[in-house]
Copies of this chain bind each other. A is one copy, B any other.
Amino acid sequence: MDDVVKTSTEAQRQEFYGRLATQNLAPLWEVLRGLLPSEPRSKAVPHRWVYDDLRPLLLESGSLLTAQEAERRVLVLENPALKGMSRATATMYAGIQLIMPGETAPAHRHSPSALRFMLEGEGAITVVGGERTTMRRGDFVITPSWAWHDHGNEGTQPCAWLDGLDLPLVQFLEASFNEHYNDDRQSLTRPEGDSLARFGSGMLPLNTTSRYGLTTPIFNYPFARTRAALVAAAAGEALDPHEAVTLRYANPIDGGWTMPTIAAWMMFVPAGFETRPMRSTDGQVMALAEGALTAHVGDKRYDLAESDVAVAPGWTWRSYRAEKDSFLFCFSDRVAHEKLGLYREQRGA
């Protein structure tokens, strides 16, 4: 085909495309390749937040406005490649929440699910469905989709935790509902520890229905128990080359993940162990609960200290090496990938 003809054809096509556009039609063949890449390329990039660097800013926000004013006083962890979008990964929101002694983060509920991973301070409490729980360092706390929840600080120190929410996913699905409670704090209708006793002791009520739809009825998985389980599990079997010892937080009612949209787990990497690289389609947020760990994510290397937070975007190679016995908390959209038939992983040599 000579150049003149080509140009003419191209002009014809553009004219045709213009007529299509007036009818809200578009030519697939011009965009197909972009719509169907041979494999995923995440819009997010690897990143790490050093807790000691962000902590002064967090405390400064504490003097800037009250928790009440803010509704939630949180510094959003924004992925450098997704500025202004309130996203840590392509689908997940993360932030660091601060609550000062005596403050209350007022009660509300929303269809997005939220998790809290406790980083600092004594005396923080969360109330879910009329039951309060005291949040200790390393505890994994859930505020289920559409469950009333509020937070408080009954101690004498600032308290801070990592927030994880499925906000970008729920917004994308256009299914975000939100409601404010008629008071700052819920009244307590059950004693502290009721959920953990009733659902987290290897027993279940006779007629089991979850209090929170597809979400686990346990809303605080204490670090003390999780840590002990990981250490015991490490003694019982050889370490997995890619995952060292990983246990996922589980819903006792069906053995699935704890939330329908957010998967959460903890990895124990014993001092000196180094995992081989692997990658998976889910985008992960991780926080070091204890120890000292070097994470390789894509071509980045992060030496993580306790409470540091990092992001491994989807389909990006990651591996870990522990300097001390290390406990790494992680969450991602893996459960959504699995339920929708889209989860894949690849294990490197």
Contact = CB atoms under 8 A, between A and B. Distances in A.
Interface string A223-264: 001101110110111000001001111111111000011000
A202 B226 contact: yes
A194 B70 contact: no
Interface in A167-221: 167, 169-179, 190-191, 193-194, 197-198, 200-206, 208, 213-215, 218, 221
Interface stretch (A11-19, A120-128, A287-295, A319-327): A11-19
Interface in A9-49: 12-13, 16, 19-21, 23-29, 31-32, 35-43, 47, 49
Interface centre among A194, A337, A339 (most CB of B within 10 A): A339
A281 interface: yes
Given A78-B26, A79-B24, A86-B31, A91 B177 contact: no
B177 A201 contact: no
A79 to B, nearest CB: 7
Interface residues of A, number: 127
A271 interface: no
Interface stretch (A57-65, A152-160, A298-306): A57-65
Given A232-B191, A260-B339, A29 B73 contact: yes
A5 interface: no
Contacts of A54: 23, 25
A83 B267 CA distance: 43
Interface centre among A37, A225, A254, A340 (most CB of B within 10 A): A340
Contacts of A250: 202-204, 208, 252
A167 B193 CA distance: 39
A342 B170 contact: yes
